[in-house]
Amino acid sequence: MERSFADLLDALDRAGSPGAAWRVGTGWLATAGVIWCHYAYTSDSQDPLTGRLVRYSSLPQAWLEHYDAQAFVKHDPAVRHCARANTPVVTGTEPPECGPVGAWRLWDDARSAGFGGGVAIPLRTPGSALGGFSLVTSMADREFLSWHKTHGRWAALAAHVVDQRILTLAALPASRPRLSPRERECLTWLAVGMRHDRIAERLGITRPTVELHLANARRKLRARTREQALAKAITLGLLDL
C-alpha cells in the first residue's frame, strides 16, 4: 500500500476544502477495504460527549439517526476509548464482555446493520480538542483481523493525514516546528515501515538514541503517538518522502 499511500498524499495536497479532503480520504480508504468512516471532534475535554466542533461521516443516514435516537454515544466503547486513550483499538469483532444494556444493544444493532470489524483511532493533540476517526468494514471477525494485520497500520496513518489536512484547511491553529536532521531521518524511515532497531542500524546509532529522537519529534509536533507525529510531519512537508 506504500505506493498507493503516496497517491493519497498527492490528492490531499490538491484538496481545497475540509470536505474535499474528507472525500479524498474516504475514497482512498474504500479502496483499502474500509466501507464506512466517521470523524468527529469535541471542544470539551472534560465531557467528550458534548461540544462537537467537526463531524464528517459516511455511515448510512438511517444508522446515524438511530444512533442519535438511542443515545448510543453514552455507551459507545469507541467514543470512550478515543476520549481516554492514545492508540487505535479494534472494535466490533466481539460483543461487550460486560457493561450497560446500551452497549449490548449498540453491538447487536450494528451487526444487524451490516457493520463488521473496525478500528477506532483517537485524535488527541495536547492543548486541542479531543476526537476520533472510526474505520468500519463489513468483514467478519477472522477476515477482518487478517485484514487489520496486513493493512491496519496504513489505514490508521491515512486517517491521521486526512485529519491533519482537514484541520489545516479549516484554518485551525497550527504550528510548524523545527525538527533536527536526525529527527527527520528517524521519522522518514519510520514512515516506510522500518522498526526502531533497523533505523538504528541504518543510521549507525543505538536504538535508545533512535527512540530519543522520535520522542523529541513527538514533543515538538505536539503528538501523542508516532502515527500522529508521522501524519503531522508529512502534512507539514517536513519529511523527504
Domain assignment of residue 151, given as a range: 2-169
Kindly state whether residues 156 and 187 are assigned to the same domain.
no
Cα–Cα distance measured from residue 220 to residue 215, given in angstroms and rounded to the nearest whole number: 9
**What integer is the mean pLDDT of 120-131?**
72
Q: Count up the domains in the chain and report the number.
A: 2
Residue 80: all three cell numbers together: 470512550
- The CATH number for 197's domain is 1.10.10.10
Q: Are residues 197 and 153 in the same domain?
A: no
* CATH number of the CATH domain containing 86: 3.30.450.80
Q: What is the pLDDT of residues 32-87, one digit of tens each?
A: 999 999 998 765 444 444 444 578 999 999 999 999 899 898 888 888 888 788 88
Q: pLDDT by residue (tens digit) across 163-195?
A: 888 878 876 545 568 889 999 999 999 988 899
Give the model confidence (pLDDT) of 200-214 as tens digits: 999 999 999 999 999
Distance CA 64, CA 103 (A): 16
3-state SS, residue 39: strand
Q: What's the confidence (pLDDT) of residue 50?
A: 46
Order of strands, sheet of 36-42, starting from the edge strand that comes earlier in the sequence: 52-57, 36-42, 130-136, 118-122, 89-91
The torsion of the CA quartet 194, 167, 83, 103, rounded to 10 degrees, works out to -100
The model's pTM is 0.74
Which residues are 57's β-sheet partners? 38
Largest Cα–Cα separation, the chain: 57
